[in-house]
Structure 1
Amino acid sequence: MSKKIMKNLDPKLETETYLPSAQAPVEIKTDEFKMRRVARPIRNVRHIPVKSQVFHSKEGPLEFSYETKIKTPISRKKLVVQVTHVGLNPVDVKIRNGYVNPTSGEIGLGREYCGVVTNVGSDIAYAWHEGDEVFGIYYHPHMGSGALQSSLLIDPKTDAIAIKPKNVTSEEAAGTMYCLGSAFNILDRLQKYKYLTEDSNILINGGTSSVGMFAIQLLKNYYKVQPKLVIVTSSNGPDVLKSQFPNIADEMIFINYLNCRGKSSKPLRKMLKEEVVDSYSGEDSNTAPKPYTQGKFDIVLDFVGGYDILSHSSSLIHSRGAYVTTVGDYVANYKEDIYNSWDNPSANARKIFGSIMWSYDYSHFYFDPSPSTASKNEWIEKCSELLSDGTVKCVIYKTFDWKQTAEALKVLKTQSAQGKIIIKVEKF
Structure 2
Amino acid sequence: MASTSASTPSLPPVQTVWRIVRSGDPAKALVKDENAPVPKKIPKGYVLVKIQAASLNPVGFKLMQLAPNSFLQRVAENDFAGEVVDPNGEPRFKIGDQVFGTIPIPDSIKTGQGALAQYSYAPAKSIAHRPEGIPPNEASGIPIVAVTAHAALYQIGKLEAGQRIFINGGTTSVGLYAVQIAKALGCKVYASASGKNEEFLRNLGVDEFYDYTKQPIHEALVQNPPSSKFDVILEAVGNAFVPLYTHSEAYLAPNGAYISVGPTPHGLGETLSLLWNVFLRPKWAGGTRRRFKFIIPSKTGELLDEIAKMITDGKVKPFIDSVYKFDDVLSAYDKILIGHARGKIVVETA
Aligned to 2:5: none
Per-residue Cα deviation, 1:240-274 (whole angstroms, up to 9, x for no partner): 3245x2xx2xx4211111111xx2122222222xx
Matched-pair contact (CA < 8 Å) for 2:129–2:305: no
Distance between the aligned counterparts of 1:321 and 1:72, measured in 2?
49
In the alignment, which of 291, 300, 307 is matched to residue 242 of structure 2? 307
Q: Does 1:203 align with 2:169?
A: no
In the alignment, which of 264, 281, 284 is matched to residue 217 of structure 2? 264
What is the CA-CA distance between 1:161 and the residue it aligns to?
0.6
What is the CA-CA distance between 1:82 and the residue it aligns to?
0.7
1:17-416 equivalent positions in 2, closer than 5 A = 48-57=13-22, 58-59=24-25, 60=28, 62-66=30-34, 68-72=36-40, 74=42, 78-99=46-67, 106-121=73-88, 123-124=89-90, 126-140=91-105, 141-143=108-110, 144-157=112-125, 160-190=126-156, 192=158, 196-221=159-184, 223-225=185-187, 227=188, 229-243=189-203, 245=204, 248=205, 251-260=206-215, 263-272=216-225, 294-304=227-237, 305=239, 306-328=241-263, 330=265, 344=272, 346-347=274-275, 350-351=278-279, 357-368=287-298, 371=299, 378-416=302-340
- Describe the SS at the equivalent of 2:61: helix
* 1:69 alignment partner AA: P
* 1:299 alignment partner AA: V
Gaps of 5+ in 2: 1-9
* 1:137 alignment partner AA: T
Matched-pair contact (CA < 8 Å) for 1:81–1:116: yes
Per-residue Cα deviation, 1:75-97 (whole angstroms, up to 9, x for no partner): 57543211110010011111111
Aligned to 1:36: none
Matched-pair contact (CA < 8 Å) for 1:329–1:344: no
What is the CA-CA distance between 1:199 and the residue it aligns to?
2.7
Greater strand share, structure number: 2
Gaps of 5+ in 1: 1-44, 273-292
Cα root mean square deviation, aligned:
3.0
Distance of aligned partners of 1:62 and 1:116 in 2 relative to their CA distance in 1, 3 Å threshold: same
- Describe the SS at the equivalent of 2:51: strand
What is the CA-CA distance between 1:190 and the residue it aligns to?
3.8
Per-residue Cα deviation, 1:87-131 (whole angstroms, up to 9, x for no partner): 100111111112576x7774422210001112232x33x432221
- The TM-score normalised by the length of structure 1 is 0.69
Distance of aligned partners of 1:46 and 1:256 in 2 relative to their CA distance in 1, 3 Å threshold: closer
Per-residue Cα deviation, 1:306-358 (whole angstroms, up to 9, x for no partner): 1121232222222122111113373xx6xx99xxxx95475377347788844
Distance of aligned partners of 1:134 and 1:213 in 2 relative to their CA distance in 1, 3 Å threshold: same
Distance of aligned partners of 1:210 and 1:267 in 2 relative to their CA distance in 1, 3 Å threshold: same
Distance of aligned partners of 1:366 and 1:71 in 2 relative to their CA distance in 1, 3 Å threshold: closer
Give the share of equivalent positions with the same residue, in percent.
Answer: 21
Distance of aligned partners of 1:61 and 1:142 in 2 relative to their CA distance in 1, 3 Å threshold: closer
Distance between the aligned counterparts of 1:266 and 1:345, measured in 2?
18
- The TM-score normalised by the length of structure 2 is 0.83
Per-residue Cα deviation, 1:22-77 (whole angstroms, up to 9, x for no partner): xxxxxxxxxxxxxxxxxxxxxxx897423211232315263321454245465575
Matched-pair contact (CA < 8 Å) for 1:135–1:174: yes
Matched-pair contact (CA < 8 Å) for 1:203–1:230: yes
Distance between the aligned counterparts of 2:163 and 2:119, measured in 1?
44
- Describe the SS at the equivalent of 2:19: strand
What is the CA-CA distance between 1:235 and the residue it aligns to?
4.3
Distance between the aligned counterparts of 1:62 and 1:90, measured in 2?
15
Matched-pair contact (CA < 8 Å) for 1:300–1:324: yes
Aligned to 1:283: none
Distance of aligned partners of 1:99 and 1:265 in 2 relative to their CA distance in 1, 3 Å threshold: closer
- Describe the SS at the equivalent of 1:50: strand
Matched-pair contact (CA < 8 Å) for 2:151–2:295: no
Matched-pair contact (CA < 8 Å) for 1:47–1:72: no
Equivalenced residue count is 330
Distance of aligned partners of 1:105 and 1:172 in 2 relative to their CA distance in 1, 3 Å threshold: closer
* 2:233 alignment partner AA: V
Distance between the aligned counterparts of 2:214 and 2:277, measured in 1?
32
Distance of aligned partners of 1:408 and 1:184 in 2 relative to their CA distance in 1, 3 Å threshold: same
Distance between the aligned counterparts of 2:338 and 2:47, measured in 1?
36
Distance between the aligned counterparts of 1:298 and 1:74, measured in 2?
45
